[in-house]
Amino acid sequence: MSEVILSVKNLSVEYRVEEGIVKAVNDVSFDVKSGETLGLVGETGAGKTTIALSIMGLLPVPPAVVTQGEILFEGENILAANEKYLRTLRGNKISMIFQDPMSALNPSTYVGDQISEVIMLHNKVSKDKAREMAEECLEMVGIPKNRYAEYPHKFSGGMKQRVIIAIALACNPNLLIADEPTTALDVTIQAQILELMEQLKEKKGTSNILITHDLGVIAKMCDRVAVIYAGEIVEMGTLRQVFKNTAHPYTKGLFDALPGNSLSGKRLKPIKGSMPDPTSLPENCKFANRCFNKSDKCDQRIKLVDIGDGHLVRCVSPLCSEGVKSH
Amino acid sequence: MKKYIIKRLLWMIVVLLGVLFIVFVLLEFTPGDPARQILGVYADEEEVAAKRLELRLDDPFLVRFGRYVYNLVFRFDLGISYRTKLPVMQEIATRFPITIAIGVLGLVVSVAIGLVAGIISAVKQYSWLDKICNVFAVIFHAMPNFWLALELSLIFALYLKWLPPTGYKGLKYLILPVAALGLNGSTAIFRQVRSSMLDVIREDYIRTARAKGQSEIKIILKHELRNALMPVVTMIGNSLGAIIAGSVVVESIFSIPGLGNYMLQAINRRDYPVIQGSVFVLAFMICIFNLLTDIVYSFLDPQLQSQYQSNVKSKKRGVKA
Ligand SMILES: Nc1ncnc2c1ncn2[C@@H]1O[C@H](COP(=O)(O)OP(=O)(O)OP(=O)(O)O)[C@@H](O)[C@H]1O
Ligand SMILES: [Mg+2]
């Protein structure tokens, strides 16, 4: 098996705000292996971005507080590392593409210079060399290099997102975290960007964490998937395990809510209710109040269990187990 | 950009003519005969009439106005002071540098204080540093500049005797006036810097810069300040008028022989050519400063800059079509 490059262990993060304590991430553990793409899927407010920011060491403090856990990258615990060390990682070994491309570029700096900036931070190169390398990055994401000296407002949303990808990949990171890289873009651009990420992953062997609430994107891009609900992983496994042998009622709910399934004449089946208030999460199954498969057994603290071949589910009555898959 | 500047310069001529015209009208309606003013109460009617003729005061209003403008434009001549009998242009030329020095130094001080305090306040929002800066900003903002000037003079000149209280015999004499102007002007700049820095700090591209591994100092200088500066520059442009008005007040408090003081004296003595000349020069200064801030602004803001370019382009296209 290929080696693990990132290991998140029992991570819990809270936001302490006036309204109370928002438990955004609760005891989350996962590994990312070298060269693989892990998908994090979940509805809005599930805590996906918070997990990503924890890995970057960029949680907004205050209000964010890490209450437990560690994040190991190359054997170092990121959560305990000093800022100076983290700066050598960010943009260099770990990069992140943020959720909204429209506002992620500095409006008063040439797009090209925004790429050279990260190159010069992590490589001992001259300004001219950095510019040359930045131009290569632009070409790599399909933007002609003569647009180096232009300001972001002249770029469309899709082009801005390409620039952001170029920034993220400029230093050949070992790990790329893409937080909803395509949600803000229209469908055709979305496909192009995903295509691009796929190619770059193949060319450079980067490991990816891809955050999205779009199961279609997960299916296209990911090797493994973790489904997040109310700050917890409720189901995790290979793409095949999660998609073909869906075991958690929430994951099933996500599939049933897909518009694609209604093409056959069936109506959309949105999951009823909404996620519990993250300031007062229940101790028992957090999905119970919305679950179609609820029983008395759900009224307890539920553990994440392996139902076979590393397919993890946080449910007392999983809809299926690996053992029965081939029948 | 060049076109824009030329357009602005043409507009400036219109504005200055307007200012001159208004001053002329105001002086026309002020009671009192300048000829009588010059000759004193003991001169007889004939002498006064002769003086009026000499100064051509009996010509119609528009003729006098036209002559004034003609002389200004083609001879660079602002007339002769009634009191000192010296050309106004020459008198202004000796005083102008002092006023410019006070105004520019006052501006530099207020920008320096406002920027540094504003950045610290924003970056360390809610800290005790932030609170102290805010308290001082309120105090200096609430104090009118003449009062601030008097207090400074009281403390540093009368009690501590560190600095001379009045007059002008070198740069040392400018410290108190500049401090009074600068402290007063810095408060508005401080608040603008603080609030626009606070806006920028929350922007997504600041997080992008952090995600690149950039250091906090560089993030402040390279990413935050430049974007926060745009509203600050506009505000500085707008407050130039206030600073120049303030320098008039401050000059008279510290008895500094600058343009402002000169103008105040001329108003008291009905020295019309001096009043007209000084107002004209002050208005000219303000216009130039405003133009400069607009140009600086367009360099800071690429969007604005490209607007000029695209305006020009679309006009060119329009011509071809
Ligand atoms: N800076 C913050 N201060 C307070 N609460 C926050 C902050 N950031 C996030 N939260 C809360 O933490 C929870 C998790 O948010 P997070 O942004 O991680 O969700 P997400 O899964 O990325 O959602 P989305 O799909 O909308 O991006 C939410 O309840 C959110 O309101
Ligand atoms: Mg998010």
Please tell me the distance between residue A179's alpha carbon and the centre of ligand 2 in angstroms.
Answer: 7
**Contact assignment for B212 to A56 by CB distance below 8 Å:** no
For residue A179, what is the enclosing H or E element? strand A175-179
Residues in A touching B207 (Cβ below 8 Å): 58, 98, 104
Chain A residue with Cα closest to B303: A153
**Average pLDDT of the residues of chain B:** 84
Interatomic CA distance for residues A286 and A232, integer angstroms: 9
pTM as predicted:
0.76
Q: What is the pLDDT of residues B215-273, one digit of tens each?
A: 888 888 888 888 888 788 878 877 777 788 888 888 888 888 888 888 888 888 888 88
Check residue B241 and give its pLDDT. Answer: 77
Contact of A204 with A254, CB cutoff 8 Å: no
Q: Is the CB of A63 under 6 A from ligand 1?
A: yes
Of A100, A105, A122, the CB nearest to B213: A122
Specify the ligand 1 atom closest to the Cα of A42. 21
Q: How many C-beta atoms surround the C-beta of residue A86 within 10 A?
A: 19
Residues in B touching A95 (Cβ below 8 Å): 211
Q: How many helices (H) and strands (E) does chain B have?
A: 14, 0
Distance from CA of B165 to the nearest CA of A (A): 46
Q: Is the CB of A225 under 6 A from ligand 1?
A: no
Residues in A touching B214 (Cβ below 8 Å): 87, 91, 117, 121
Q: Is A123 in CB contact (< 8 Å) with chain B?
A: no
* Phi (first) and psi of residue A236, to 5 degrees: -150, 140
Task: Determine the CATH number of domain B102-303.
Answer: 1.10.3720.10
Check residue A267 and give its pLDDT. Answer: 62
DSSP of B181-207, one letter per residue? HHHHHHHHHHHHHHHHHHHHHTSHHHH
Q: Is the CB of A214 under 6 A from ligand 1?
A: no
Interatomic CA distance for residues A275 and A23, integer angstroms: 13
Closest listed ligand to the CA of A231: 1
Specify the ligand 1 atom closest to the Cα of A43. 25
Check residue A261 and give its pLDDT. Answer: 55
Inform me whether the pLDDT recorded for B320 exceeds 50.
no
The Cα angle at residue A184 between residues A179 and A190, in degrees rounded to 5: 85
Q: What is the pLDDT of residues A256-311, one digit of tens each?
A: 877 765 455 556 677 777 777 878 877 788 887 787 777 777 777 888 888 888 88
Check residue B321 and give its pLDDT. Answer: 38
Residues in B touching A151 (Cβ below 8 Å): 302-303, 306
**Contact assignment for A106 to B208 by CB distance below 8 Å:** yes
Give, using CA atoms, the residue closest to atom 31 of ligand 1: A45
Side-chain half-sphere exposure of A243, counting CA atoms within 13 A: 16
Residues in B touching A109 (Cβ below 8 Å): 222-223, 226
Check residue B318 and give its pLDDT. Answer: 46
Report strand pairing: A94-97 vs A305-306.
unpaired
Please tell me the distance between residue A45's alpha carbon and the centre of ligand 1 in angstroms.
Answer: 5
Q: What is the pLDDT of residues A130-168, one digit of tens each?
A: 999 999 888 888 889 899 988 888 888 888 888 998 898
Between chain A and chain B, how many beta carbons pairs sit less than 8 Å apart?
A: 73
The Cα angle at residue A25 between residues A96 and A38, in degrees rounded to 5: 45
Residues A162, A164, A167, A170, Cα dihedral to 10°? -40
Chain A residue with Cα closest to B203: A103
Residue boundaries of the structural domains of chain B: 102-303
Give, using CA atoms, the residue closest to atom 9 of ligand 1: A50
Question: Is the pLDDT higher at A112 or at B243?
Answer: A112
Give, using CA atoms, the residue closest to atom 25 of ligand 1: A44
Q: What is the pLDDT of residues B133-186, one digit of tens each?
A: 999 999 988 888 888 888 888 898 888 888 887 877 777 888 888 988 889 889
